[in-house]
Amino acid sequence: MIFIYDIIIIGAGPAGLTAALYALRANKNILILEAKTYGGQIVAAHKIQNYPAIEDISGIDFANNLYNQVKKLGADIKYETVLHIDEQRKVTTDKNTYEAKTIIIATGAKNRKLGLPEEQRYIGKGVSYCASCDGGFYKDKIVAVIGGGNTALEDALYLSSIAKQVYLIHRRDSFRGEETYYNELKKLNNVKFILNSNCVKINGSDNVENIIVKDINNGKEQQIAIDGLFIAVGQIPSNEIFANVIDVDDKGYIIAHDDVYTSKEKIFVAGDARVKKLRQLTTAVADGSLAATVAISEMR
């Protein structure tokens, strides 16, 4: 006889692990499927300072705490890549097939690439998408950060404490990230803003040596010598494998109308993978708790 889980949770980031926490506390049989490592994108956060009641915690500590919390409750996490789900909630991975009464998709989003043809070639050779992972390699060196959201601002702040010089390059003249970060950055002598500009070329022999930055107003290009390039231009979802069963929008986010219900009954979505107004840790864990709660109530 095939074992049928109460809930299969796809993704072990903050949304998925919070869903697991709520489901396990309700004594449900759950399986968490994760393609890479637990924690999701939050592990790349050097500091989290906007989570209520926790003044300051690193992304890695947050992820470890949450992981340990669900493991203590007996969470079953399998490191398998989901390839397919069907309308009967059969989940096929690269290793197995499982069945569940309900599914919670919590697959988050991945880093958006800048889109330059040479970008891929320099990954790990000066190009990075994670300042807290790779920033340490740039002690007393020169780095550039591209982007204008919270990630870019936080990365620039973090890197300013390590690198000799940080260029923050953004395609507009104002940032969409929080003003607090911008105000802190303005006070730093080793941070230089290059606004209304795009990075149009990455150059180097083996490793990144310089970038070409183009002013979008006057078309002028300048070459900037750097050792490292941190690209922080947002995220994109990876929901292609679910699109056969549930509706996604034109950007690939799962349509959920600001709650966790997808277009298919008994399949729910939590966290950054869905259409939503605010993608933060607080909203990811809120989604995870709600998704588990509605999954429990609708599995009967």
Instruction: Indicate if 133 belongs to the active site.
Output: yes
Contact 89/102 with Cβ under 8 angstroms?
A: yes
Q: How many CA atoms lie within 13 Å of 297's alpha carbon, on the beta-carbon side?
A: 7
Could you tell me whether strands 267-269 and 191-194 are parallel, antiparallel, or unpaired per DSSP bridges? unpaired
Q: Is 279 in the site for ligand NAP (CB under 6 A)?
A: yes
CA dist 35 → 62, 163, 197, 282 (Å) = 20, 33, 36, 23
Could you tell me which stretch among 97-105, 137-145, 148-156, 222-230 binds ligand NAP (CB under 6 A)? 148-156
Q: Is 154 in the site for ligand NAP (CB under 6 A)?
A: yes
Q: Is the dihedral of CA 74, 78, 83, 88 positive or negative?
A: negative
**Which candidate in 61, 133, 247, 258 is catalytic?**
133
Q: Is 114 in the site for ligand NAP (CB under 6 A)?
A: yes
Q: Is 235 in the site for ligand NAP (CB under 6 A)?
A: yes
| CB nearer to ligand NAP: pick between 232 and 254 | 232
Which candidate, 153, 79, 107, places its Cα nearest to that of 14?
Answer: 107
Q: Is 147 in the site for ligand NAP (CB under 6 A)?
A: yes
Reading the block at residue 261, the tokens are 């219900």
H or E segment to which residue 30 belongs: strand 30-33
Q: Is 280 in the site for ligand NAP (CB under 6 A)?
A: yes
What is residue 186's three-state secondary structure? helix
**Which of 137, 224, 234, 259 touches ligand NAP by CB under 6 A?**
234
Could you tell me which stretch among 24-32, 79-87, 99-107, 149-157 binds ligand NAP (CB under 6 A)? 149-157
Q: Is 157 in the site for ligand NAP (CB under 6 A)?
A: no
CA dist 205 → 118, 121, 134, 143, 199 (Å) = 12, 11, 20, 17, 18
Could you tell me which stretch among 55-63, 84-92, 227-235, 242-250 binds ligand NAP (CB under 6 A)? 227-235
In whole angstroms, the minimum distance from the beta carbon of 233 to ligand NAP comes to 4
Question: One symbol per residue from 74 to 113: x for binding ligand NAP (CB under 6 A), - otherwise; what is it?
Answer: --------------------------------------x-
Instruction: Indicate if 199 belongs to the active site.
Output: no
Residue tagged 């995220």 (tokens): 235
Residues making contact with ligand NAP (CB under 6 A) = 45, 48, 50, 112, 114-115, 146-152, 154, 171-172, 176, 198, 232-235, 279-280
